[in-house]
Amino acid sequence: MAVTEPSEFDFSVTNLPLKLFINNEYVDSQSGQFLTVHNPKDATLVSDQVPLAGPADVEAAVLAAEKALPAWKKLSNSQRRDMLLKFAALIRRDAKLLTQLNRLTHGAPWAGFGGFEIDICADTFVYNAGWIDKFHGEAVPTDEGIMQITRNEPLGVTAAIIPWNAAIIMIGEKAAPALATGNCFILKPSEKTPFAALAVGNLIKEAGFPPGVFQILSGDGSTGALLSSHMRIRKISFTGSIPTGKKVQEAAAKSNLKRVHLELGGKSPAIVFDDCDLENALTWCVNGLVGNSGQICMATTRLYVQEGIFDKFSAAYKEKLEERANTMGDPEEEGMLLGPLVDKLQFDRVTGFIERGIQEKQGTLLTGGTKQGGSVGYFVTPTVFTNVEPGAEIYTNEIFGPVSILNSFKTEEEALEKANALEYGLMAGIFTNDITRALRMASDVESGLVGINCITLKMLNTPVGGAKQSGVGRENGRAALEAFTEPKTIMINMALKS
């Protein structure tokens, strides 16, 4: 069997990072509890020794962060910037190791999502490093004898809880703005993909971050709950599902009213008009569904196609997805672009939606509907249902796998109403050559991100986040730095003479 990227590393269990990273040291968990992870391509055991951080571990990390905070806040801009830049360079240097560690339990092929994350993560550190000496406050014209200055102050000890689907990208999205703005930061990776995060401990040290500034605690929901309810953590930046996001917000409210940033789920609509560039719309809609095997918060999973091109679109969509299905398989095999779903739980959830969709005739199956790989790996063929009833569960739920619904519409008003009908509002795409209509729709669609002739896309330098139940707050761009700081207003009485 040909292998796309021959592994230069020995990934036997002894080489896995199996310790917490606290105060710049790799340490055993004091909880004595461990997590188990499998390789989703064949369900083989990867490790049952991943440390689960418990109350004593969380407390140790918070104490170390509190100790580090005063000096870290006062560090010069250039010193902090250089550490972030060095960390970005180290991430790139160790790209293969980090990616391979992540792929062991994520399952994404190198040529697909697997090889895609490192650069985004490193770029995010570079981007935020560039802000450090530019993210300043304001001096307000003197009013009634009082001059005002605002400063962007770090929040203190902050933490992030992240999901498994983009475990490397999110190291950057969360840690970079937190550290750039002078916060100490604790990262809790998902219990399903802990290894890349645990492995960056050495890089944190090598980049020169002082002990306690940047720490990694692996764990599951119980660790997340400890962070969310901690009385001295001042902010949680959370990415994950809507139900868990609500628990985090509740725990924050019941503890110390810590700031909560929520990046949650989606069911992103593509609205495809008769006058669009069909080939372009198809490319974005196909990529937007199958990328990372559908495990993307802003995946293109609701398609509304105007009546005039519906038949043509659906035939071509089916054909292209079936071509892509041929690139689903063993992530180590050459030519594979699509891997398995992350684990059995996710596999059962996604296939459950598909089976009920077929059995209950929630729509007409256009393509897919099968499990690939039988009981061995967690592969699911890209699946599309057409003419789906708006109340059906496959219509209203985020499935988080390669499953979409494809319905038709007549008018712009109808398309907008359908797009806005759900509680999600993360991403929407408008495909049309009529720029006036595109801009009108873009302003009326209830979504944090809107693509015109593109979809399932976010950029480093503009805010990313959800409307409605898809989230609270924004990351990326300047918004990410704002989310990790609070303005402090200083008032100077200009009338006072000595």
Positions marked active-site: 263
Stretch that binds ligand NAD, among 8-16, 24-32, 188-196, 362-370 (CB under 6 A): 188-196
Of 252, 224, 204, 261, the closest CA to residue 65 belongs to 204
Of 243, 256, 16, the closest CA to residue 159 belongs to 256
Q: Is the dihedral of CA 163, 111, 316, 342 positive or negative?
A: negative
Choose, by CB under 6 A, the member of 190, 218, 301, 432 that binds ligand NAD: 190
Shortest Cβ 433–ligand NAD spacing (Å): 30
Residue 117 as a binder of ligand NAD (CB under 6 A): the answer is no
Stretch that binds ligand NAD, among 2-10, 159-167, 350-358, 361-369 (CB under 6 A): 159-167
- In sequence order, what are the residues at sequence separation of 6 or more whose Cβ sits closer than 8 angstroms to the Cβ of residue 12? none
CB 184 within 8 A of CB 157: yes
Shortest Cβ 400–ligand NAD spacing (Å): 5
Closer Cβ to ligand NAD, 230 or 371, answer by number: 230
CB 337 within 8 A of CB 368: no
Choose, by CB under 6 A, the member of 150, 241, 287, 372 that binds ligand NAD: 241
Choose, by CB under 6 A, the member of 29, 102, 165, 218 that binds ligand NAD: 165
Show contacts with ligand NAD in window 56-75 (CB under 6 A).
none
CB 183 within 8 A of CB 157: yes
Beta bridge partners of 103: none
Residue 164 as a binder of ligand NAD (CB under 6 A): the answer is yes
Q: Tell me the angle at which helices 278-290 and 307-325 cross, rounded to the nearest 10 degrees.
A: 50
Shortest Cβ 491–ligand NAD spacing (Å): 38
Q: Please state, in angstroms and rounded to a whole number, the distance separating the CA atoms of residues 171 and 175.
A: 6
CA-to-CA separations, 228 to 51, 193, 233, 237, 288, in angstroms, rounded: 19, 20, 8, 10, 32
Residue 191 as a binder of ligand NAD (CB under 6 A): the answer is yes
Shortest Cβ 205–ligand NAD spacing (Å): 24
Residue 265 as a binder of ligand NAD (CB under 6 A): the answer is yes
Closer Cβ to ligand NAD, 100 or 239, answer by number: 239
Sequence letter at residue 276:
C
Of 465, 459, 458, the closest CA to residue 482 belongs to 465
Shortest Cβ 208–ligand NAD spacing (Å): 28
Stretch that binds ligand NAD, among 6-14, 87-95, 163-171, 317-325 (CB under 6 A): 163-171
Residue 200 as a binder of ligand NAD (CB under 6 A): the answer is no
Closer Cβ to ligand NAD, 266 or 382, answer by number: 266
Shortest Cβ 464–ligand NAD spacing (Å): 7
Shortest Cβ 244–ligand NAD spacing (Å): 3
- In sequence order, what are the residues at sequence separation of 6 or more whose Cβ sits closer than 8 angstroms to the Cβ of residue 383? 354, 365, 367, 368, 369, 370, 402, 403, 404
Print the binding letters for residues 463-482 with ligand NAD: x by CB under 6 A, - otherwise: ---x----x-----------
Q: Is the dihedral of CA 50, 56, 58, 63 positive or negative?
A: negative
Closer Cβ to ligand NAD, 177 or 466, answer by number: 466
| Local structure of 485: helix, strand or coil | strand
Choose, by CB under 6 A, the member of 247, 259, 418, 440 that binds ligand NAD: 247
Of 259, 283, 257, 258, the closest CA to residue 270 belongs to 283
Closer Cβ to ligand NAD, 117 or 332, answer by number: 117
Residue 114 as a binder of ligand NAD (CB under 6 A): the answer is no
Of 183, 158, 175, 152, the closest CA to residue 70 belongs to 183
Q: What residues make contact with ligand NAD under the rule CB under 6 A?
A: 161-166, 188, 190-191, 220-221, 224-225, 228, 239-241, 244, 247-248, 263-266, 297, 398, 400, 426, 466, 471
